């Protein structure tokens, strides 16, 4: 199945489920002191000398932007569909006067967990999101969210095994070349055939 043949739900879900991993990666970059030493020096207010910040500003700010985009989209969806929604849409964020400004003080792993709560909930209602999008109820919000996700993927690519970029492998069951890798919090978790649904789990080392 090519990218052009995917349904809206498959297209949206594939981007949505990458958000927790992307946020964790960006927060790890922000907190890596070795990387921070490689950034350009900045002037501290009131000082005359160049000083280095204790973290990388760009991935920290961009992680806030990605998280806020996810939260605001989730809030819009919650208003449309009603019912229960994740508490993370109302709590656990850096809150400005009117709107959220970014992630709360959190570790990379905590950022992963916060985004996962929202992503898993949105995934559970993707079919409803699809018809509401088709009906124009969500406007450009889904496309805007995906655009930010793709932008952050390109700006902060995650280090993953190179074979992910190769063309899909042939499936020994259905013989279609649609076997793709599955990724977990610790890297490669297994593989799945998009044609017949056959799955393979990575064996423990």
Task: State pLDDT tens for residues 72-90.
Answer: 999 899 888 877 778 887 7
Mean pLDDT value across residues 107-130: 90
Please give the C-alpha separations between residue 41 and each of 30, 31, 53, in angstroms, as whole numbers: 15, 16, 7
Higher pLDDT: 112 or 47? It is 112
Structure tokens at 166: 């190769």
Higher pLDDT: 85 or 117? It is 117
Structure tokens at 3: 């990218």
Higher pLDDT: 129 or 165? It is 129
Mean of pLDDT over the chain: 76
Structure tokens at 36: 């921070």
pLDDT at 186: 61
pLDDT at 16: 92
pLDDT at 95: 60
Structure tokens at 205: 């080392």
Query: 49 Cβ partners below 8 Å, 6+ apart?
Result: 43
Query: What is the domain partition of the chain in residue ranges?
Result: 3-159, 161-205
Gap between the terminal Cα atoms of the chain? 31
pLDDT at 86: 82
68 touches 102 (CB < 8 A): yes
Phi then psi dihedrals of residue 91, to 5 deg: -130, 180
Residue 161 CA, chain-centre distance (Å), reads: 18
């Amino acid at each position: 199945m090519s990218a052009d043949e995917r349904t809206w739900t498959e297209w949206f879900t594939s981007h949505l489920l990458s958000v927790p991993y992307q946020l964790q990666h960006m927060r790890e970059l922000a907190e890596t002191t070795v990387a921070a030493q490689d950034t350009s020096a900045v002037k501290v207010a009131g000082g005359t000398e160049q000083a280095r910040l204790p973290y990388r500003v760009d991935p920290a700010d961009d992680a806030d932007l990605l998280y806020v985009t996810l939260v605001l989209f989730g809030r819009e969806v919650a208003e449309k569909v009603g019912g229960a929604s994740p508490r993370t849409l109302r709590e656990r964020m850096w809150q400005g006067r009117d709107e959220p400004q970014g992630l709360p003080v959190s570790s990379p792993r905590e950022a992963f967990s916060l985004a996962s709560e929202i992503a898993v909930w949105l995934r559970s209602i993707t079919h409803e999101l699809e018809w509401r999008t088709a009906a124009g109820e969500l406007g450009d919000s889904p496309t805007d969210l995906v655009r930010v996700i793709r932008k952050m993927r390109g700006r902060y690519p995650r280090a993953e095994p190179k074979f992910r970029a190769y063309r899909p492998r042939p499936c020994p069951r259905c013989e279609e070349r649609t076997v793709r890798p599955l990724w977990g919090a610790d890297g490669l978790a297994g593989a799945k055939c998009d044609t017949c649904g056959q799955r393979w789990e990575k064996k423990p080392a």
